[in-house]
Structure 1
Amino acid sequence: VLSPCDAVETEKMVKAMVEQKGPMYIRINRNDLPIVTNPDEEYHIGKMTQMVDGKDVVIFATGVMVQQSMEAAKILGKEGISARVVNVSTIKPLDTEALEAYAEGMKGVVTAEEHNVIGGLGSAVCSALSKKRVPIEILGVGDRFGTSAENYSILLKHYGLEAEDVAKKVRSVLAYK
């Protein structure tokens, strides 16, 4: 299960899919998204990419939520909160070793996805980190029917998937005692 965060990653992902055997699923956003990945970096199915370095909390994001999480990291930085943002473009199979390494030493973990909170990235991260003693917050679409809107930004606002919503989850996870 693949979920690219921009057009550059989508192109690399599709090329990598051609080389793979077996069933695959790719979730492609049909809206124009800002380019946040480096066109010169190699892409490998199954690998995570750190987009922003941080020392307080890690945000595991997928799809359009990578860009939203990078914006959230800027907002949080102004508050003195250092957020690491990791692009999880392969949800399954999930690289649990990399996941654990990125979460090591963090005060909290947040997942961000434009997907149902049940059975997506958040569930996979919770399962993979279940033996770690780190608070986790999941940001995604509540278990409800979808809707339509004039544009994509209206949908992000409607479902609470904007940068400020990511920042709010980070503040919440850091408030755990």
Structure 2
Amino acid sequence: MNMKGSSSRHGLAILFIALQFSSILAYPPFHRERNMEYVKSSCNSTAYPRLCYRSLSVYASKINTSPRLLVHTALNVTLRASKSTSRLLVTVSRIHGLEPRVVAAMADCVEVIGDSVDELQQSIGELGRISSSNFSLTMSDVQTWVSAALTDEDTCMDGFAGNNMNGYAKTVVRKRIVKIAHLTSNALALINNYASTQS
């Protein structure tokens, strides 16, 4: 047996497989490009398209080109961010030495962001029950829940209005609340688009 020839053929086979694999990476399948383009074009209708694309493009293969899955994913991304923010607010609210007005504002934020989390969960539950026979009514409910969540996020920030509220708590709260408010706004825009396609 010619070991050298066998080794050479083995090496060529590995090289061929490697080249095939690299070509797959270099030229992604058409459906992947299509899915990414669908997410991008859908995000262009939102108020914060870059954030929208950044937060949803990683789920493009799951979303495919389904407007329902797009909305469902956007709501789940927003819910996860809101839960994380809610936990952070609780932690910050327990910091010793905060001024009384900051403590009060933090308490209000913890409450309304908790409500926002509940409303987002409710909207995801409603979306899961959607069918062709109840589409309009269900989408109206989803729009109501998500709008309420956005209002709660705005209410949290209102509590920190004014220079006398400046400080660590306001800086931390503002950064996180602005992000989830933008995610919620984007989700609502995608929901509105989805609702209008069936009206």
TM-score for the superposition, normalised by structure 1 = 0.26
More strand by percentage: 1
TM-score for the superposition, normalised by structure 2 = 0.24
Which structure has the bigger radius of gyration? Answer: 2
**Bigger RCO of structures 1 and 2 (CA < 8 A, at least 6 apart):** 2
